[in-house]
């Protein structure tokens, strides 16, 4: 998917990119490739693949669950790595107030420079483990939307993300193909942490056989105080 096809696909979903937004994606691509030569952020480096598997993939929640991305909504992206999905979402929805949580300082260095290059405002970077951030009063149950893409399986990911979602807010997980088994496996964790599965939508990325599943959960009750547990515990001992 070259930049022109990317622009065309977005227009099919009623997103008409401005010149500024087109330029932001172009700058994003160039800086990602440049920085990636020194710090390993992604193994996907061909322009067509970055636009499809990173940029387009990151914004699919806007097409499927668009109504939750209200103007001015607060969004926390857990384990964003090179900024996916939060930075592409922010480019398309500039009024989003974004907080990015990542445990690796090198990735946050990249994101800090990227945010400056793209001229984005209302983006906060938090250096830490999701488990620690989820117990921090500044962030716990504070966000309208929490996102995570390719971070961990559902039983673990729920413990990273649901504690950050405010009651009535949403958790959006961007997963690979056939995520139903993961959802079944994670159902106890989701319920325990105060979440409720609203929808799991399967899709295929345009002009490819790349299958994805978008998962939408709503936070229907507060997360018990003991969650998230200490850093490393959710992965070692998922809630079952």
Q: Nearest 5°: phi and psi at 204?
A: -120, 130
Q: Is 181 annotated as a binding residue?
A: no
Q: Is 202 annotated as a binding residue?
A: no
CA-based nearest residue to 100, from 176, 166, 110, 42 = 110
Decide if 180 contacts 173 (C-beta within 8 A): no
Tokens of 192: 């325990």
- How are strands ordered across the β-sheet holding 211-219? 123-127, 97-102, 74-78, 143-149, 165-175, 211-219, 195-204
Q: Which residues pair with 170 in a beta bridge?
A: 145, 218
Q: Is 149 annotated as a binding residue?
A: yes
- With b for 16 or more beta-carbon neighbours within 10 A and e for fewer, the 30-39 pattern comes to ebbeebbeee
Q: Is 73 annotated as a binding residue?
A: no
Q: Is 107 annotated as a binding residue?
A: no
Tokens of 196: 């409720």
Q: Residue ranges for the binding site for S-adenosyl-L-methionine?
A: 79, 84, 130-131, 149
Residue list for the binding site: 79, 84, 130-131, 149
């Amino acid at each position: 998917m070259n930049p022109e096809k990317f622009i065309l696909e977005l227009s099919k979903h009623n997103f008409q990119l401005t010149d500024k937004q087109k330029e932001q994606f172009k700058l994003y691509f160039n800086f990602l490739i440049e920085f990636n030569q020194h710090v390993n952020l992604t193994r996907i480096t061909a322009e067509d693949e970055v636009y499809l598997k990173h940029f387009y993939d990151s914004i699919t929640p806007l097409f499927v669950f668009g109504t939750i991305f209200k103007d001015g909504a607060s969004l926390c992206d857990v384990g964003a790595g090179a900024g996916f999905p939060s930075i592409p979402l922010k480019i398309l929805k500039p009024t989003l107030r974004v907080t990015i949580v990542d445990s690796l300082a090198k990735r946050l260095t990249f994101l800090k420079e990227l945010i400056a290059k793209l001229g984005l405002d209302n983006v906060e970077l938090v250096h830490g483990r999701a488990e620690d951030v989820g117990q921090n009063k500044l962030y716990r149950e504070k966000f309208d939307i929490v996102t995570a893409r390719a971070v961990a399986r559902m039983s673990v990911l729920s413990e990273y993300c649901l504690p950050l979602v405010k009651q009535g807010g949403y958790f959006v997980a961007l997963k690979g193909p056939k995520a139903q088994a993961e959802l079944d496996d994670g159902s106890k964790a989701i319920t325990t942490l105060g979440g409720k599965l609203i929808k799991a939508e399967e899709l295929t990325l345009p002009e490819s056989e790349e299958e994805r599943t978008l998962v939408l959960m709503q936070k229907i009750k507060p997360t018990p105080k003991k969650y998230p547990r200490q850093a490393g515990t959710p992965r070692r001992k998922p809630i079952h």
